[in-house]
């Protein structure tokens, strides 16, 4: 934890997902809330999307940040805002497409979260 999942519609062919992950990870690290190696992020390109019911040039990038339960509403808002800002800064978006950028914060139940670190 934290686990970040970035989903984006594949019509955003100018979007560099790897660079965006690194930028968001840097912002999360700078928040002072997380250990560096704990920030685990992944991006998933979505081949099959449907926004609304109309056939228009639309796209979205959605970030879900999953953190252990127990943080205050203010901390969660701040993590959401800095993730959204990092995403907006890093996303080179194509003209002529309506793009929705979204961030949600999801809590992971702390008591049942398990983790092992394996190095050999």
Sites of contact with a second copy (CB under 8 A): 1, 3, 7, 9, 17-18, 21-22, 25-26, 29, 36-46, 48-54, 58, 60, 62, 66, 73, 76-77, 79-81, 83-84, 88, 93, 95-109, 111-120
The least CB distance from residue 107 to a second copy, in Å, is 8
Q: Which of 12, 15, 38 is nearest to 25 (CA)?
A: 38
Backbone φ/ψ region at 102: left (φ over 0), alpha (ψ -120 to 50), beta = beta
What is the spatial distance between Cα 18 and Cα 8, in angstroms, rounded to a whole number?
Answer: 12
H/E element holding 58? strand 58-68
The least CB distance from residue 27 to a second copy, in Å, is 10
The least CB distance from residue 13 to a second copy, in Å, is 14
Residue placing its CB nearer to a second copy in the complex, 26 or 33: 26
């Amino acid at each position: 934890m934290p686990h970040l999942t970035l989903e984006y519609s594949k019509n955003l062919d100018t979007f560099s997902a790897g660079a965006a992950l690194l930028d968001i990870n840097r912002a999360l690290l700078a928040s002072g809330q997380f250990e560096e190696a704990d920030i685990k992020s992944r991006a998933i390109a979505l081949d099959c999307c449907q926004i609304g019911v109309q056939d228009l040039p639309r796209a979205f990038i959605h970030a879900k940040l999953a953190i252990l339960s127990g943080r205050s509403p203010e901390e969660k808002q701040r993590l959401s805002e800095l993730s959204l800002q990092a995403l907006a800064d890093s996303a080179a978006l194509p003209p002529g497409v309506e793009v929705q950028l979204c961030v949600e914060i999801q809590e992971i139940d702390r008591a049942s979260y398990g983790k092992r670190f394996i190095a050999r």
